Amino acid sequence: MTQADGTMKTEKKPFKPERITSAKTTQWLSNNKQLIGIFSVLILLSVFFSFSTSSFFTTGNMLNLLQQLAPNLIVVVIMTLVITTSGIDLSVGSILSLASALIAVLLSARWDSFFAFVFVLIVGAAVGLLNGYIISYLRIPPFIVTLASMIYVEGCALLITGGYSISISGSSWLMSLGGGELFTIPVSAIIAILIIIIGWIILTQTRFGTYIIGIGANEESVRRAGVNIKKIKLFTYMFSGMIAAFAGIIIATRLGSGSSNVGTGFEMDVIAAVVLGGTSLFGGIGTMLGSVIGVFLIGIINNGLTLMNVSPYIIQIIQGAVLLFAVIVNTYFFGRNKKRN
């Protein structure tokens, strides 16, 4: 290590370049040791399931898993950004339900697939925009704002479906979003991978991402740096609504039907994945890769245990326990989730 005694010299004291490189590597390792940790758990679990059930580690099951997890992988990207600002979006599950119901209703009403698709995205973005406006301009805590949205958006979904599931038939490109394949890989999984890459670039390589982290660490500091933090938060929640709606379309086209309850509990799965991955609930620290691993961890526990014929009730108990354990480890071994002074 170079000297860290905090002195400042009046004369020049040049850095040694190779020290900086090594400090950078050390920094990366110390930032990512927990990522390496949960990734190891993921690998161990996969190995365990591969030996305990013959159907787990098959191409068919893996592709099926990927397709099932695609909506979670898409929404976890934006949820990571939201939580990194020290916010939360509880309304994504309801928006997903509403989007799936709405696309089904619009297609039944003979809307053109493209216009129905765009309209649903706009509805999602509008809900997100309203969330963002109330959170950043009226300064109401995100938890309560998005809780309210979660309730009224689900009400809207119930209203337009009457509580029934509505079957879908759209043009082929729209249906292929959820059910299609490209070289045997589900289209939804390919889209998810693209969105993950874009999300990672936004978080780590752009000004927007830097301000998202900065807002989570010290909002006032970012404001004093001359950044329009209200706009940043507004856009984050708007994208959250839009992407949740997109995930809703994907689910609806995969299932071939839309209903007001497909997204029930979805927000909790996504938030759990983000927290499992090591993003701090207090903001300022966010890891896209961690969140993706978090989704797979939850998904694989579910998939593997199901294949082992474990009761879904017990699976849910195990998932809760794993989350609790991970949060405790993250907090006490990696200093995440602890409130900074």
Partner 1 sequence: MNDIPRIAMKDIKISFGSIQSLRGVNLELYPGEVLGLVGDNGAGKSTLMKVLSGVHVPDSGSIVFEGNPITIHNPLEAKKLQIETVFQDLALCDTLDVASNLFLGREPVHFFHRLIDKKKMHALAKEELDRLGVVIPSTYSAVENLSGGQRQSVAIARAVTYQPKVLIMDEPTAALGVKEVRMVLNLIKKVKETGVSVILITHRLQDLFEVCDRITVLYEGKIIDNRLIKDFTMDSLINSITGEVKEAK
Is residue 225 a contact residue for partner 1 (CB under 8 A)?
yes
Q: 258 or 278, CB closer to partner 1?
A: 278
To partner 1, the closest distance from the beta carbon of 72 in angstroms equals 26
Binder of partner 1 out of 169, 218, 311, 316 (CB under 8 A): 218
CA distance 79 to 270: 7
Binder of partner 1 out of 206, 317, 332, 338 (CB under 8 A): 206
Could you tell me if 93 and 265 are in contact, meaning their C-beta atoms sit under 8 angstroms apart? yes
Contacts of 43 (CB under 8 A, 6+ apart): none
Residue 89 tokens, joined? 């979006």
Is residue 18 a contact residue for partner 1 (CB under 8 A)?
no
Is residue 226 a contact residue for partner 1 (CB under 8 A)?
yes
Is residue 16 a contact residue for partner 1 (CB under 8 A)?
no
Q: 72 or 84, CB closer to partner 1?
A: 84
CA distance 90 to 160: 21
Binder of partner 1 out of 47, 118, 140, 201 (CB under 8 A): 201
Is residue 222 a contact residue for partner 1 (CB under 8 A)?
yes
To partner 1, the closest distance from the beta carbon of 247 in angstroms equals 25
CA distance 279 to 283: 8
Contacts of 252 (CB under 8 A, 6+ apart): 99, 100, 101, 103, 104, 168, 178, 258, 262
Judged by CB under 8 A, which stretch of 20-28, 108-116, 189-197, 325-333 contacts partner 1?
20-28
Is residue 243 a contact residue for partner 1 (CB under 8 A)?
no
Residue whose structure tokens are 């029934």: 164
Q: How far, in Å, are 78, 96, 212 from residue 287 at the CA level? A: 11, 23, 12
Long-range contacts of 161-164 (CB under 8 A, 24+ apart): 161/101, 161/104, 161/105, 161/258, 161/259, 161/260, 163/260, 164/259
Judged by CB under 8 A, which stretch of 60-68, 119-127, 160-168, 214-222 contacts partner 1?
214-222
- Rounded to a whole number of angstroms, the CA Rg of the chain reads 22
To partner 1, the closest distance from the beta carbon of 216 in angstroms equals 7
In the three-class reduction of DSSP (H, G, I as helix; E, B as strand; rest coil), residue 167 is classed as strand
Residue whose structure tokens are 């000004």: 207
Q: 50 or 340, CB closer to partner 1?
A: 340
Is residue 33 a contact residue for partner 1 (CB under 8 A)?
no
The interface with partner 1 within residues 34-63 (CB under 8 A) comprises: none
Residue 329 tokens, joined? 């480890």
Binder of partner 1 out of 205, 311, 325, 338 (CB under 8 A): 205
Is residue 195 a contact residue for partner 1 (CB under 8 A)?
no
To partner 1, the closest distance from the beta carbon of 26 in angstroms equals 9
The interface with partner 1 within residues 106-165 (CB under 8 A) comprises: none
| Contact mark string toward partner 1, 302..341, x via CB under 8 A | --------------------------------------x-
Alpha carbon 89 to chain centroid, angstroms: 10
To partner 1, the closest distance from the beta carbon of 212 in angstroms equals 11
Residue whose structure tokens are 């994907």: 250
Give me the half-sphere count of Cα atoms (radius 13 Å) on the Cβ side of residue 17: 0
| Contact mark string toward partner 1, 81..110, x via CB under 8 A | ------------------------------
Binder of partner 1 out of 1, 36, 109, 138 (CB under 8 A): 1
Could you tell me if 127 and 95 are in contact, meaning their C-beta atoms sit under 8 angstroms apart? yes
What residue ranges bind partner 1 (CB under 8 A)? Answer: 1-15, 19-20, 23-24, 27, 201, 205-207, 210, 213-214, 216-218, 220-228, 284-285, 340
